[in-house]
Structure 1
Amino acid sequence: MAIKPATIEAIFGYNYGRSMPYTVLFSQHYTTRWQTDRILKDETNWKEFGFSTKEKLLEAMLNPEAMLQKVKAYFVREAAEKTLRHLVADKFVVSFDQRSGYTVDALDKRHLKLLAKTPEADLYPAAPATEPAK
């Protein structure tokens, strides 16, 4: 499983992400066939799932099949449309905020569960900094 840190290169609206405090954001970045080193920020597609509490987000992360089906259906349709305009899918980022996340080599529940355990997700309590008493 390849998971690498990545930034989200997209243009979001002003009110984006303000309705729900806990989110899982999936974003697909595109380039052109002729300039593969330049991300087109205004062509990025994203799908967001918002949750009102951390517990609801954790519950969704434990059994994410329905969420993953919606994401895959959305991105397949968008990628097909963009291919007709000579755009190429470049990187796919999963995130818990709008700024940074992780690229994944496959979109399945194992990857989502692993991402939920990253410190940036802030879903699980941090490990204690001190050694337990002996």
Structure 2
Amino acid sequence: METVGEATPRVAVVVFVVKGNSVLLGKRRSSIGNSTFALPGGHLEFGESFEGCAAREVMEETGLEIEKMKLLTVTNNVFKEAPKPSHYVTVFMRATLVDPNQDPENMEPEKCEGWDWYDWLNLPTPLLTSLLKD
């Protein structure tokens, strides 16, 4: 097995926030997937549930309150080409808005260019690699 320095796998929780036929995506500003479109989400904290992490990260990044969270799948993603190689076990959740009239805000402009709703049949490109089929 190949290792990269002292790199340790981390757990990320990302959320498909859905509204009708649309999903919320933001354009990343980070070392992993810079300028790609991705779901809101972030690192799982010690002792935190997947649902708790999903709700916290979506609120921190977009200002949106979510509910009806459901575990969808888990992926194993190794980013060898990133400026800082990393390994993420990514937990994918699905959720809906508590109030469907809420609009996303860009709460972390240093990490994201902005959030918007995209129709499932017309997703922006490029998508973050972990969102693409193998």
TM (norm. structure 2) is 0.26
TM (norm. structure 1) is 0.26
Larger radius of gyration: 1
- Structure having the larger proportion of residues in helix: 1
- Structure having the larger proportion of residues in strand: 2
